Structures are given as C-alpha cells and as structure tokens.
Structure 1
C-alpha cells in the first residue's frame, strides 16, 4: 500500500531547516542546565529537540518580526509530554519572564494527575526537584485559582483547570472568576493538554459563541504577549478545517511508530481466543502470575503486573467483576489441574505462545500447585481489585480510586486488577499494565470503527515501558531481543481479544491507522535449525576448519594521531559543491550537477564557524570527544597540528561551471564544513576500538563452531511504516540438497536468491572440488555460545579508505576443498544500508588484494581466504561471476545478463 502523501507543515519545516542550518545564530543552543538540574527525569533526545524548536520560534532572528504565540507539539502517547511542559514552564519563566501559567485539560482525572505532576512534592509522580533553584535563587511554584494583581519575585503561578470551567468563567462573569481582563493584565502562557478536544467548532465548520475553542482564543488574544502551547498525540490533519487551523502551528512531531522503533515502549501482541470470558479470566490470571514469578525466579526482580478487564457496558463490567471474584474464591488445586488439562486438549498451533509458556510452567510445578493457588487467592483477592466504572463517556481517572489508579507502580500499592468501561483513558500513565482483556459483553454488540479506535488508543497508552530493576539497574528502553522469552513475558503488553471476525478486522485496521506495530501472539516457537546428519558424517565436519583473523588489544596510547582512525590530516580537503538543501556526506559525488570543467575555490572561515559546528554537533562536545580520543587534552587542541591540523590545510569546494563562487554564502560554507566534520566524526567512531585485527588467520574446528541453533520468524501484521522499513519478509525455507550444511534457513528474499543461484552452480563447482558446502553463519548460531564470538572478521593491514575496527560476521561461507587446497569464500548479502556498511565490502575486497599479508597459524596448510562483493537482489554487483573467477578461474556457464 502506498504511503499517504505528507501534508506540508510550513512552521515545522521552517524550524527543521533552521535546526539543520549551522548559520543559525541560536544553533549552539542546548537544553539549559537549570532545566536539567531542576527536573527529576532527564530529557530524551526528542524532548531536547522539541524544546530547542520552541526556543528557535521565540528567539531566532528569522522570527524577530513575527509573533509566534500559538504552537502545537504532536507527540506520541507515553513520550513524556508532561515532562516537556514542566521544562517549558521553567524555560518561559527564566528566558521570557513569564510567571503566569494556565494549564487546561478536558477531564478532572487528567487535571488531578497533572496537579500531582507539577505541584505535589509528596507524589511519586512529581516532576521537579524537591527545591527548584535557578542562578542561586529559590523558585516557588504556587497553585492558584486566579493570578494575583501584585506578583511576587521568584514565583511561578500555576492555575490548573478544566477547559469547561475556564470557558464558563469567561462567558459568565461572576465573583472570583477570571475574565478576559484578568488574562490581559499580566502575560500568560496557556498549556493545552490533549489539544485535539479543543477544535470541535473547527471540525464542524462553525464557531459557536461559547465554545471551548472561542474561550481559549479569547484568553490568547487578551494580551499580545500571551502564548498558547498545545500538546496532543492525535491530531486529525486529514480534516481540512483542522489542517487549515494547525498547518502553521505544528512546531514539533514525534510519532508513535518512531517511539516504538526507538524501543521506548513495550512490544504489543494480540491473543485472539474463542474461550468463554471465565476461561479468558483464568488464563490472564495465570499469565499475570507467571510474569511475576518469572521476573523473580529468573532475574531476581520484583514486578507487579496489572490486568485491566475492558467492557463495553457498565452492567456487563460489574457482572464480570462478580464472576471474577467467584472464580478466584472457588479456585482449588483440582480445578486448576482440570483447567490446565482442558486447555491442553483444545490447544492448537494457533494458540498463544506466551500462554503456552505459562501453562507449561504450572504443569512443571504440579507439586507446588497448592502454594500457587494460595498465591493467586492472595494476589487477586477482592481488596486488590479496582472497579473504576462510572459512565461510558468518562475517562478512567474521572471518579474515585484516583490515587490508587495513578500509583499502580508503587511498592505500597497492592492492586492487581482493574474493571473499567472507559473511552480514551487520557492521562492514565500506568507503566506496569501488561494485560488488557476485552470481555465479550453482549454478543450482539460488534466492535464498531469508533469502538476499536478507542481500544487501539488504550493499547497505545498501555504500551508505555515499565523500567523494572534488572541487575540493580533500570532501563527506560527495551533490553531484550524482540520475541525472545524474556521480551514476551517482561516487555510485552498483551491484548486479549474476542474472536469475532468483524471486530478483529476493525481492530487491526485501527491499530494500522495508528501505525502501531503488533501481531497475533500465535505459537511462534523458536525454530530448530539443525546441522544435517549427512554433513556430520563427512571428513569436512570431522577435520575441517573455518578461518577468521586474530585480534590484539589496543591501548589508549595507540591513538596518538587521527591517522590511526583513518582520518587524513596531511592533505588539503576537496569537497564537491552541493546545495545546503541536500543532506549528503562530503565524499558523496552522486549529485545532480555537471562537474565537467569545474573549478576549485578555497573555503575561508574563522573560529566562529568552528565553534558553531563543534557546539551544534554533539559528537564534538568535549566529554564525548574524549571518549574516542583519550589523549586529547582540550577541544581547542583538536584543531591543532597534533590532531586535525585544520589551520595548516585548505578546504576547497569544487563548483560546477554553471555556478559562480557567489553561491558560497556564509550559510553554504557552514554546510560544507558541517559535511566535512560529520564525516570526520564518523571516521573517528568507526576507527576506535579496544581491539584491532591482524593478518594472522586462525582455523577453528567446524564441528565445534557450526552448531544447531534456534530462531523465530517475526510476525508483525500492522504498522505500515514499521513494515515498510523492513520490506524483505523473513521466512523459513527447507533446503534438502547436501551442499547446504543446515536442514533449513530462516532468511530474507535476497539471501534466498543467493542460495538458489549458488545451488545452480554446485555441479560445476563439484567438477573442481570434492567438497562443496555453503554454510549459513547466522548470528543466532554464535549467540548460543560465548566462544563463537571469535567468529568475526576484522580489518587488518593499512590503507583502508574507511577505518572500522568493529568486527563483523559475513552471513555465508562457501567452503571448497579438493586434494590440493581449500578455499573459504566470505559472502555477505545486502538489501539496504549498503553505503553505511561499505567498509565491510571493502574489507572483503582487501583480503583478495593483500594475500601476502595473510599468515596462517599452521603454515603447512594450503588455505586460501577470499571475499566477494555484496550480493544484492538480482546480483547487481556481479557477485556470482566473481565467485566463479575465484573458484574455477572463469565465469560460470550460462550466466544471466545481470550476472555478467
């Protein structure tokens, strides 16, 4: 499916360009220390970027004559919008002199949560340090109902209210209520949370006299210095009226798919079942307890997984609550055994893998079932259940149980289960929600598009990552390999759905519309990939070896010049002119310009340019630079002769004859320098390692290192961008022919095509070699054993265009042996990121060109180590031809046009 065309957002695009421009006077601006020091949480990179974008809109020269007083931050649920608000309050107070802040939201539940976040120092959710201090002055945040006429120094006044209340006060003048003139007296910042609710009149193409939208506009326009900062995860830009309102106001975007790809969330899996509600309840209880016990028994970590039972109607939810209490109350060892037996009899390949893991745990611990039943009765007792129902139109935090619902991660909070009828549950930022169970309710009630979208949004909120303690440390991103057992149990939220076709169709469509990557949690066990018994009977298995080069330790003293990283510091630098509008590295030459009869122009620059670049590129912050250049004494020293030698060399730009040197504006020169410094940073990073390769190749016995391994096939079915970023579907293919060492391969389409093309040449190879074997070197194979980390290829020798000391494992080895010698050919298929990983292909070519540098542990062996170019789809680089020339001294017979 084609991706939707992105609608232009002029303000966002302008500030993004400004962010990339090194001539931006504010380009070196970073999140101030007073924000870092006065907040509990450290900003993530995208929160830093959002704050920086706002700073540009208020301070950059480009906005000097524009009053950017209304902006919107479009950021994923769970990405920390409230943290960003807290930082913006400090920024606006310190940098712009604002003392009056009006926080607006449309529900009392979110309001209560935010009061805790911003004003309640006793709350676990409080976002500021216990004492806010800026420039040696203590700052007080004072919650008020109205902004005082006389304002105290070092005080931030914060009015937190529902938009309904504020709008009523604007339209109905009454005592102690804030009217338009009160918002005109002193400049005010409005913080509008869940802003998608404030455009009802825009959506309906009419501006009612007393709408929320009109009230907010009245407050904003009461004083020319007033500011409106809106925040939402869901903005309907497809609605033409909403788009027209916000196209010049969207300042920053951080979408859900990026949030999930950055691993800031749990994974999401669906468990689709035709079980009764009672059986689903029992299953989720067993799964939840298994999560708790697994964390404790396998990792020594205490977690308290929470279950939410979601209904369509309050009476159905209350009835389910009673059923659940009875289920737990009447649970016995015998009834649990009977349940597990019943589940095993109806089990199928389509059942949930995670539930199967839980069931197996209880069956394996049958002698402890009496203790397990006691634990379940304690953990799911009535006093550990919250019934959060009020009205189908309310959020989960609206009435009652607010404190309990908003502190579910606390060790003193014992609640494990929530029964609720809730819509969007906005503001509910619980992290240890691991299971949401959609109860069947009335079978006549189908999942409408609106209902399933609401549920998809609930799943998105529940996907917030839970930073549980592991080995004494917390992580705020996923730690385990996706689909591993650890990840399935400890880093995945499961949505247990009813198995009704139309409902499931609408739910999947809603998840896909949100671009929330998820898949059905079917039994997706680790697939066994085994070495063929026929191969184990061969002499190659018994006596053969595979060769990789040895590494030696590198001390800090080794890195005494940038040449050791592969950076040329002796010669002048020549860079082709590319407009600042194009993002490329300085060595890139594939550009839309005619360089015939081009001419070189020296780029003149002073220290200001270098300072801007070093401040703007975080790699060059001294604390980071020092990690890679241990002998560096200061950032200024980096420019000097000992290191980059920038003052004794000239940087030239090659300009096409179609242009003249006037194109080298200050902004373009900064762009040119940025490209050069970005490439140098890349060279330094890739050239630094605690180990480096040598030309000595060690033979490792095949029978000790080529082993059975296990691997899963990924199974996402939603999340368009997520899937489009990995277009090559991975699957398992059985390979019966003896030339392939394993019985099967879990590979993508490029890898499959490579195997097929080599298979077509096996007979021709066997005319020259008695032993012809293709070995798949899967990362999962060498993950099974620490010793297999030796099986990596490293750069050796000198003269590499790009120094990269990190080792890598080529995906395939073609093993060829006859009575005279043995040839080992490294082959690496590549479907994307070819430019980024060019150094790998260069290393494979270097092996061929520098045979004299290669020595072997056993010099009596007649061994040849070879490499070939990346194999790409349809063999665009002529890899198969190259294999033929290495193996048989000529091209294979019958090569296709592309292979020639």
Structure 2
C-alpha cells in the first residue's frame, strides 16, 4: 500500500484496519456484483464462494483473520520496522504471516521480494508533463519492477518445467497464469495511466508488440465423431538422464581447438602521410602455429580457469556428464580436457615461453568453446517410448494466446 506522505500512510493504515474489522458478507456480495467486469476478481469470487461453497459471512471472517492488524506492517513506523525486521526480510517463508505493507519510499531501493502480487497506489497525483515521465512516476515504475520479481513454483500441469522460469506467458486463459502476474492498482486517471505506461516502456517492462490471439476450433469439427470419440496418443516428457554421455565427443566436441593469434605486445610505427605508399617494417620472425596439449599447462592453471566459470564447477558438470567421478578426472582424462589439443599462433619466441597469464587465457578460451558446444548440443528432456491415449476433445480446445508480432514496434 503506497502513500504519498508518512501521515497519509498512517491514515490509510487506520482506514484499512477499520474497513477489515467492519467487513460483512453483504459488503462482499456488493463487491462481487460490482466486479463482474473484472475477470480476476470474478474468478476469485467464483472459486471461493461457489466452488468452495463459502458463505459471504464466512468469507468475511476469513479475510478478517488473514488481514488482522498483527499481519499488517507500516514500514514508515520506526517501531514496526525495528520490531519486525526479521519478518520483513523473510516474507517468502511459509510461516511468515505478514500480508500487507504500508510504505512511502522505504521499499523503493534495496528491497527484493518474490511473493509480491499487488501494489496499491493510494494517491491520485501525477508529475508527468508534455508526455515526459516525471521522477515520481519513474520511481513507481521501478517499484513495479522490483515487485515483478518472479516467484518460482512447480506447475501441476508442467511438472518438468523449471521452477524459476515463466510458464504461461502465451496462455492467456490458464488460471495459474495469475501466479506470474503483478497487479498494480490505482484510481482511473487516464493521464497518469499513460504516464506509467510510458515509464514502464522506457524501463523495458512493457512490450507493446504483443497481441492477444484467439484460436477457435470450427464448430463443424467439434460435431464430428472423431472429435467426440477419437483419441490422440501422447508420450511423456522426462528429464534426459544422459546415460550415454561419457566424454566431450557425446556433445560433438572435437578434441582440437584453434586459439586466435597470440598477442605479441610489440608495436609497429609507420607514417600514413609521407606522400608515398604506406610500408610497414616486416618482423625478422614470422608468426607460426604450434600445438599444445591443454593438460600440459598444469593442474593449477586449468583449476583456476575452471573455478572462474560456474559452468565447470563439479556439481554442474555432473548434470551434463553423469559418469564423471571427479573434477580431477575432467582435467586429466583423454575423453575430457586431457585429450584436448589447442593450436596457438604467435611468434616462435613467445610460443617457447608462454606466460602463466597467456596459458590461462588460452585455457579459458578452450573452456568457453566447450561450454558453448555442450549447451548447444545438450537436450534437457526426451520423450518416453510409452504412449497413452487421450481424448481429442480434451487435448484440442479453444485457446487465447499472447504472441509477439514480428516487425512491429512499440506503440506510443
């Protein structure tokens, strides 16, 4: 709950507490009737009062318990802030009962929370002028950005999907999509709404190239026996165990690498304005290419290069190479770095006396090539050989999708 001043924040908190205390079933019924045009609220009321068969009075009592004064914190209040600092730093814990925060500016910087789903703007002023975003509005857009941190969860309809990745960006009619949304509430002030949209666009959070697309099956198809009684055979998607991966070759990575020209550290000076053709004095020694066994650079060099790249930490390597027994095996085995040969081009004297820094640069270059190759060829999920029948009418339905239209730019 964001207010303009500390006094207004205290007044708003008092008004909120009084409103919750006086909540009745009749008031919730009136709110439900007034929110028929709001899809999110209508769906919430339908779930709680229809599917759960909860009466208005019981719903009011549940809300009064969920938003009791002890579950509300005003971060502008030094006493509240000091006494409940631990709770404020652990809002994502399962046993944390804080439900509402009242604030002015204390949460604008240095505050990250994943389970923030609503921001309520409790004032109706704007500082934008001549289509330019004001400082206050930009700060509000940044607060929205902080609140829009993704809350990781396991989707029941996508059990194999990563917890920390968005799952329903294009599925507009999926109920679980609400877990990936942040609602910003403000009074209906068209000029301010335009200001905040401009601010969100400037910060990169608003994509105006996305369009809602409705996909509908033809009614004639829905009336066919195929649609009504037919089945489609589908297999499951499971995480790839990578049982057959026993070296770099499993990811189509060759054992030979070519390092770009070694920096000589030498400088050649020539005149570009002498009136005649530009000539450079040739070096008495021409660059040559020489092959080095990467393992020959030593365990210390390779270990340092691997430590500097999270991809080559042993725990991560094991996800791509499950048969790998140790980091030492990755360094020494011929199927991994032990068999890697790198061709380096440079002056003979430099190649004869590679410095530790040069060896480290070469090792990091090779590791980067290996990382890119593994990620490019890696398959996270594979299909099972077991297929199961599912009714066509359950698998193919009308959908509402959000898609980015290629070639379009943002709207002003």
Q: TM-score range, shorter-chain basis?
A: 0.5 to 0.7
Instruction: Check whether the contact 1:404–1:413 (CA below 8 A) recurs between aligned residues.
Output: no
Output the CA distance in 2 between the equivalents of 1:701 and 1:707: 10
Instruction: Check whether the contact 1:467–1:476 (CA below 8 A) recurs between aligned residues.
Output: yes
Counterparts in 2 of 1:458 and 1:537: CA distance versus 1, 3 Å: closer
Residue 16 (structure 2) aligns with: 324
Q: Deviations over 1:831-863 (max 9, x none)?
A: xxxxxxxxxxxxxxxxxxxxxxxxxxxxxxxxx
Residue 400 (structure 1) aligns with: 79
Output the CA distance in 2 between the equivalents of 1:568 and 1:437: 57
Q: What is the TM-score of this pair, normalised by structure 1?
A: 0.32
Q: Which runs of 5+ in 1 are unaligned?
A: 1-307, 389-395, 581-597, 715-728, 731-747, 751-900
Q: What's the CA shift for 1:372?
A: 0.3
Output the CA distance in 1 between the equivalents of 2:97 and 2:239: 51
Instruction: Check whether the contact 1:545–1:701 (CA below 8 A) recurs between aligned residues.
Output: yes
Residue 358 (str. 1) matches residue 358 (str. 2) = no
Counterparts in 2 of 1:423 and 1:453: CA distance versus 1, 3 Å: farther
Instruction: Check whether the contact 1:407–1:430 (CA below 8 A) recurs between aligned residues.
Output: no
Q: Deviations over 1:299-326 (max 9, x none)?
A: xxxxxxxxx2x23245655554454344
Output the CA distance in 2 between the equivalents of 1:413 and 1:622: 35
Q: Deviations over 1:3-38 (max 9, x none)?
A: xxxxxxxxxxxxxxxxxxxxxxxxxxxxxxxxxxxx
Q: Deviations over 1:634-687 (max 9, x none)?
A: 44444557524846x75334x6xxx86678665556544434333334445666
Residue 505 (structure 1) aligns with: 194
Q: Deviations over 1:227-247 (max 9, x none)?
A: xxxxxxxxxxxxxxxxxxxxx
Instruction: Check whether the contact 1:639–1:645 (CA below 8 A) recurs between aligned residues.
Output: yes
Counterparts in 2 of 1:400 and 1:661: CA distance versus 1, 3 Å: same
Q: What's the CA shift for 1:371?
A: 0.8
Residue 368 (structure 2) aligns with: 678
Instruction: Check whether the contact 1:628–1:685 (CA below 8 A) recurs between aligned residues.
Output: no
Q: Which runs of 5+ in 2 are unaligned?
A: 129-133, 157-161, 264-285
Q: What's the CA shift for 1:429?
A: 5.5
Q: What's the CA shift for 1:401?
A: 1.5
Output the CA distance in 2 between the equivalents of 1:691 and 1:341: 46
Output the CA distance in 2 between the equivalents of 1:508 and 1:576: 48
Q: Pick from 333, 357, 374: which aligns with 2:25?
A: 333
- Please give the secondary structure, in 2, of the residue aligned with 1:674: helix
Output the CA distance in 1 between the equivalents of 2:69 and 2:383: 63
Output the CA distance in 1 between the equivalents of 2:29 and 2:153: 32
Q: Pick from 604, 610, 623: which aligns with 2:292?
A: 604
Q: Deviations over 1:611-656 (max 9, x none)?
A: 4434434443344434433444444444557524846x75334x6x
Output the CA distance in 1 between the equivalents of 2:238 and 2:126: 65
Output the CA distance in 1 between the equivalents of 2:380 and 2:145: 41
Output the CA distance in 2 between the equivalents of 1:497 and 1:688: 46
Instruction: Check whether the contact 1:406–1:430 (CA below 8 A) recurs between aligned residues.
Output: no
Output the CA distance in 1 between the equivalents of 2:71 and 2:223: 61
- Please give the secondary structure, in 2, of the residue aligned with 1:498: coil
Instruction: Check whether the contact 1:478–1:491 (CA below 8 A) recurs between aligned residues.
Output: no
- Please give the secondary structure, in 1, of the residue aligned with 2:55: helix
Instruction: Check whether the contact 1:328–1:376 (CA below 8 A) recurs between aligned residues.
Output: yes
Counterparts in 2 of 1:358 and 1:676: CA distance versus 1, 3 Å: same
Q: What's the CA shift for 1:382?
A: 4.9
Instruction: Check whether the contact 1:460–1:516 (CA below 8 A) recurs between aligned residues.
Output: no
Residue 369 (str. 1) matches residue 56 (str. 2) = yes
Output the CA distance in 2 between the equivalents of 1:674 and 1:516: 33
Root-mean-square deviation over aligned CA pairs: 5.3
- Please give the secondary structure, in 2, of the residue aligned with 1:651: strand
Output the CA distance in 1 between the equivalents of 2:304 and 2:10: 62
Residue 652 (structure 1) aligns with: 343
Q: What is the TM-score of this pair, normalised by structure 2?
A: 0.62
Output the CA distance in 2 between the equivalents of 1:555 and 1:318: 56
Residue 446 (str. 1) matches residue 126 (str. 2) = yes
Residue 436 (structure 1) aligns with: 119
- Please give the secondary structure, in 2, of the residue aligned with 1:339: helix
Residue 455 (str. 1) matches residue 140 (str. 2) = yes
Q: Pick from 249, 252, 255: which aligns with 1:566?
A: 252
Counterparts in 2 of 1:451 and 1:342: CA distance versus 1, 3 Å: same
Residue 378 (structure 1) aligns with: 65
Counterparts in 2 of 1:547 and 1:427: CA distance versus 1, 3 Å: closer
Counterparts in 2 of 1:406 and 1:429: CA distance versus 1, 3 Å: farther
Residue 493 (str. 1) matches residue 205 (str. 2) = no
Counterparts in 2 of 1:685 and 1:376: CA distance versus 1, 3 Å: closer
Instruction: Check whether the contact 1:465–1:476 (CA below 8 A) recurs between aligned residues.
Output: no
Instruction: Check whether the contact 2:72–2:100 (CA below 8 A) recurs between aligned residues.
Output: yes
- Please give the secondary structure, in 2, of the residue aligned with 1:708: coil
Alignment of 1:582-597 (within 5 A): none
Output the CA distance in 2 between the equivalents of 1:550 and 1:332: 48
Counterparts in 2 of 1:537 and 1:330: CA distance versus 1, 3 Å: closer
Equivalenced residue count is 357
Output the CA distance in 2 between the equivalents of 1:399 and 1:452: 26
